Amino acid sequence: MGRVHQNLKVKVPDPRLAIIEKRLKQVNRIIVVASGKGGVGKSLVATTISLWLSRKGQRVGLLDLDFHGPSCHIILGAKEVAPTEERGLIPPEVHGVKFMSVIYYIGDRPLPLRGDEISNAFVELLTITRWGRLDYLVVDVPPGIAEEVLDIIRLIKRGEFLIVATPSALATTTVARLSQLLQELQVPVLGAVENMCPSETGTEGAEKFGTTLLGRIPFDPEVEEKLGDPELLLRTKFARAVEAIVDKIRT
Amino acid sequence: MISSLLAVAKEKGAKEVAEAKIKLGKMQQIDIDILNLAFRELTRGTLLEKTKIKVEPEETRFRCRACGHEWNFEAPGKSEEEEAIHFVPELAHSFLRCPRCRSPDFEIMGGRGVWVEYIKISR
Ligand SMILES: Nc1ncnc2c1ncn2[C@@H]1O[C@H](COP(=O)(O)OP(=O)(O)OP(=O)(O)O)[C@@H](O)[C@H]1O
Ligand SMILES: [Mg+2]
Ligand SMILES: [Zn+2]
C-alpha cells in the first residue's frame, strides 16, 4: 500500500494563556481594585495599598491596567525608570513596589484602543511581565465592567476584588451592580471601601453596596499636593485610613 | 506548538510527519534559524524528529478602519517603536497613524504570533 499524504490544518491553542498562569505562579495574592464607577479614587487607593504593603515588609507588585488613562505612575512619582528586558520584562521597583504600566512605552501619548484590542493588550502584558516572587499583586482597573474586569475574571480566577465607592448615590448604584455581577459569577470579593467621605467613622448603611464594608476613607484636601511623593502621601489622613483597610485585607 | 503538533499527528494516526509549515509573525522578532534549531532540539526522539519544517515569515500588516487603506509595517532598524510593538502589538496605536488619512483607528491584520499552517502525514 502506498503512503497516504494528507494536508491537515493544525489548531494551536493560544500559548499566551498557559504562559500567564506560569507568570503568576509565584504570586501569593492578587488584589483587584475596581469600581464600575469612574473617578472614585481607585488608582489612589490601589497605589496607596501597594505602598503600605511594601512598608509592612511584603513583596508587592502594582499593575496599572488603565490603558486609556494610566495614572498610578503619577501617584508613585515613577520617572526615568523602565522594565529590564530578560526573557520577558522585569518591572522596575519604585518606592519598594514592582511597577508595571504601558506608560514606559507610550509616555504622554494617547493610546486609542477598541474593545478586543484592550483584551489583547491585557493578555500580552500579562504574558510578558515577569513578577517573580510576590506576596501581593495589586491591580488598578479602569472604570466600567468591560474588557479589563471581564478578562480578569476570565484569566485570573483567584483575583480578589476590592470595590471602591463614594457616598454619592450616583456611585452607589453602579458599585452595587458590580457587586451583583461578581457575586453571580462567584468571584472572590474582599469587600467595599467608601472613599471621599465627609468623616471616616462608622460602617453603618453599608448594605447598599451589596458586600461588606471594609472601611471609610475621608475626603482629604491635602492628598493633591502629595501626589508623586509617596513618603509624604503615606502621612496623610487619607493614607492612614487606607492603612486600616490594608490591615483588614492581610488578616 | 510542538505538543499541539504531536497531538494532531497522533489523533490522525500518523506514522510519519513529512512536513510542517510554520508561520512566524514578524512582530514577534524571532530569528528563523533559532526557531529551526529549537524545533530540532525539542523534537528529538519524537514523531517529529525527521519532520521537515518550512518556516514562513508573515508581514506586519495593518488596515485602517476609517478609510480602508491597508499597509505593511517596516520598522526602521532597531527603533523604540519596534521594541514596543514586539512586547505589546496594540501599542502601535500610540505612535502609528494610517499613512493615507492619519487615523489611529486601524486593525492589526497580520504579523503576530507563531502558528502551524498545515502538516503532511503518512500512515
Ligand atoms: N479621599 C480623597 N480625598 C481627596 N481627594 C481624593 C481622595 N480620593 C481620591 N481623590 C482624588 O480624586 C481624583 C480621582 O482619583 P483617582 O484618579 O484615584 O480615581 P479613579 O477611580 O482611579 O479614576 P478613574 O475612574 O478615572 O480611573 C484624584 O484627583 C484623586 O487625587
Ligand atoms: Mg484610575
Ligand atoms: Zn486611513
- Taking only the tens place, the pLDDT of each residue in A109-138 is 999 999 999 999 999 999 999 999 999 999
- Rounded to two decimals, the pTM is 0.92
Domain boundaries, chain A: 16-250
The mean of the pLDDT values for chain A is 93
The confidence score (pLDDT) of residue A2 equals 40
- A182-231 pLDDT, tens digit each: 999 999 999 999 999 997 666 667 778 889 999 999 999 999 999 999 99
Domain count, chain B: 1
Phi, psi (rounded to 5 degrees) for B48: -95, 5
pLDDT band per the 50, 70, 90 thresholds, residue A27: very high
Contacts of A112 in chain B (CB under 8 A): 93, 104-105
Q: Give the pLDDT of residue A4.
A: 57
Å between A220 CA and nearest CA of chain B? 35
Q: Who wins on pLDDT, A114 or A7?
A: A114
Query: What pLDDT score was predicted for residue A5?
Result: 62
- pLDDT tens-digit series, residues A54-85: 999 999 999 999 999 999 999 999 999 999 99
Cβ contact A124–B88 (<8 Å): yes
Distance CA A118, CA A141 (A): 12
Contact B90 A105 (CB under 8 A): no
ipTM: 0.89
A10 and B4 in contact by Cβ < 8 A?
yes
The total of other beta-carbon atoms located within 10 Å of residue B23's CB is 16
A54 contacts A67 by C-beta, under 8 angstroms: no
What's the confidence (pLDDT) of residue B5?
85
Chain B closest CA to A112's CA: distance in Å? 6
- Cα dihedral: A113, A119, A125, A130 (round 10): 170
The CA–CA distances, whole Å, from A157 to A23, A105, A133, B27, B107 equal 14, 28, 19, 30, 29
Q: Which residue range is the domain that position B103 belongs to?
A: 2-122
pLDDT at B1: 81
A2 or A89, greater pLDDT: A89
> Residue A10: pLDDT above 80?
no
Angle at A136 between CA A186 and CA A180, to 5 degrees: 20
User: Which residues in chain A touch residue B89, judged by CB atoms under 8 angstroms apart?
Assistant: 120, 124
Residue in chain B closest to A117 (alpha carbons) equals: B90
What pLDDT is attached to residue B7? 86
| Residue A156 or residue A204, greater confidence | A156
B53-87 residue pLDDT tens: 999 999 999 999 999 999 999 876 667 788 888 89
Assign residue B41 the CATH number of its domain. Answer: 3.30.2320.80
* Architecture of the domain made up of A16-250: 3-Layer(aba) Sandwich (3.40)
